Chain A
Amino acid sequence: MGKKVIEIENLFVELDGITVLENVNLTVNEYDFLGIIGPNGGGKTTFLRVLLGLVKPARGKVRIMGNPVEKNRHLLGYVPQYAVFDRSFPISVEEVVVSARLARKQGIRFSNEDYRIAASALERVEMLPLRSRQMGELSGGERQRVLVARALAVQPRILLLDEPTASVDSRFAAGFYELLRELNREMTLILVSHDISAVSSYVKTLACMNRTLYYEHSRELNREMIENTYNCPVDLIAHGIPHRVLPPHDGVVGS
């Protein structure tokens, strides 16, 4: 096991007086690829926002590489949920990616070094040839790759992804997960999704989240975790994907 990059103890989060997350405990080790699944409204996005320092916890401890969030959030790269960008906004792919360097920019404009980092991030996601394109001209899949490149241009140690394939077709999604698997050789990945089958064959470990987190540091989800998370029997059949999510079982779940 590598060293701990994220440590969360007894995390409680309230939004407008309503408890959204309670008693979340989680340790993520370096080079983990953790998939967090759960129903919409189960607190997954809020959880990522806590890590990013956008939401303050009501209680509990959150540490990134041993330090409080405020001190180390520059180590995080963030790929937001299908962002509804204004397609008419006049901005090129390269401009979007280099904007990740803003916090580290020295002068008034970006340096050549910043543009070099942006170019190599675009190279990683195979979008360098399209760097002069307008964001509004890209397909859903291309846009998603640009958002990953923007997160990479931060030069993060941990990459957080929120429903990265929600807006793209499945043909694109497979290639996208291959890209994530490659990135995982260099950094820790945390991905949240409501789509179990899409995620489960690529991540190293799986957790379930619905108000709290069910996590056993393994690839397999037991039936109790799933049913606790979704509050109802779920139709979870592990066919068509190379790895089983559920242990072999008798009968059909959900019947």
Chain B
Amino acid sequence: MEILQFDFMRNALLVGLLVSVACGMIGTYVVVKRIVFISGGISHTAYGGIGLGYYLGFNPMLGATLFTIVSALGMGLVQQRSSQRQDTVIGVMWAVGMALGIVFVKLSPGYTADLMSYLFGSILTVPERDILFILLLDLLIIATVYRYFEEFKAVAFDEEFARVSGLKVEFYNILLLLLVALTVVVMIRAVGIILVIALLTIPPAIAGEYSRGLKGMMGLAVVLGIIFTTAGLYLSYLFDLPSGATIILVAATGYILALLIKKKIHT
């Protein structure tokens, strides 16, 4: 494979792998708990942090981490107050995060052209220090899911019974949203803020059709994520297409195929 001669390609494949691990594990919870919209909100508020990073001159990834964590805590509070119109509040936070980012970027001095890479991803140009950062976040995600696997499962399946059993349901819900926030940060480099949701949900959604347990669903979702990112990268190289968008289109094609195959089996 001649494309593997390029350092940037090897890095890109590595990032694809790391991203697939995070989004296969956390995406599984996002899908079974039906918190796709909340996750979309968390991802878009990251733009505010990226803008702030540019404005104040620190690493935009750090700003993104900060903003997604704050928004995860905010969404967690909204989630717990069932009397509020949750989706409205989440939609507002989503837009405000983006708006802040746009204002900060406008106020920032100098050249800000690679902002597009945060919106739509640029897996081919991820700097080495960001790869290390992504690796650390991945390890944190794996460790937390390993530790609280049973608790997360119980809360996702039947929140009320988990509460009756004496589990601190609020704690696990917020912890999970924090993991969603970290996953989003991991994914921004690869596919960008706007496309995060697709890669977070498509592999687990396919895996869910063929799995009998959460563990299997996570494993299959990780493998599918690796296939989609690798195939997407290869196609984008072959046809000179934007990598993030190509990865998403490959994943979406896979999703449609999986649904068709499933339907055929059942008829």
Residue of B nearest to A114 (CB): B150
Q: Tally B residues with Cβ within 8 Å of A.
A: 28
Q: Is the CB of A78 within 8 A of B161?
A: yes
Main secondary structure of the interface of B (DSSP, over half): helix
Complex: how many Å from CA A107 to CA B160? 23
A74: chain B residues within 8 A (beta carbon): 166
Chain B residues 214 to 231 lying within 8 A of chain A, measured CB to CB, are: 214, 216-217
**A-side interface size class:** 20 to 34
Residue of A nearest to B210 (CB): A90
Q: Is the CB of B157 within 8 A of A54?
A: no
Q: Is residue A237 within 8 Å, beta carbon to beta carbon, of the partner chain?
A: no
A95: chain B residues within 8 A (beta carbon): 153, 213
Complex: how many Å from CA A73 to CA B216? 34
Complex: how many Å from CA A53 to CA B163? 9
Q: Is the CB of A154 within 8 A of B158?
A: no
Complex: how many Å from CA A151 to CA B239? 58
A105: chain B residues within 8 A (beta carbon): 150
Contact flags (1/0) for B28-48 with A, using CB distance below 8 Å?
000010100000000000000
Closest beta carbon of chain B to A176's beta carbon, Å: 19
Chain A residues 39 to 70 lying within 8 A of chain B, measured CB to CB, are: 52-54
Closest beta carbon of chain A to B156's beta carbon, Å: 8
Q: Is residue A83 within 8 Å, beta carbon to beta carbon, of the partner chain?
A: yes
B: residues with CB less than 8 A from A are 32, 34, 83, 146-147, 149-151, 153-154, 156-158, 160-167, 208, 211-214, 216-217
User: Can you give 16 contacting A-B residue pairs, CB < 8 Å?
Assistant: A52-B164, A54-B164, A73-B166, A80-B161, A89-B32, A89-B157, A90-B208, A91-B213, A95-B213, A99-B161, A99-B162, A102-B150, A102-B162, A102-B165, A102-B166, A110-B150
A: residues with CB less than 8 A from B are 16, 52-54, 73-74, 76, 78, 80, 83, 85-86, 88-92, 95-96, 99-100, 102-103, 105, 108-110, 134, 150, 154
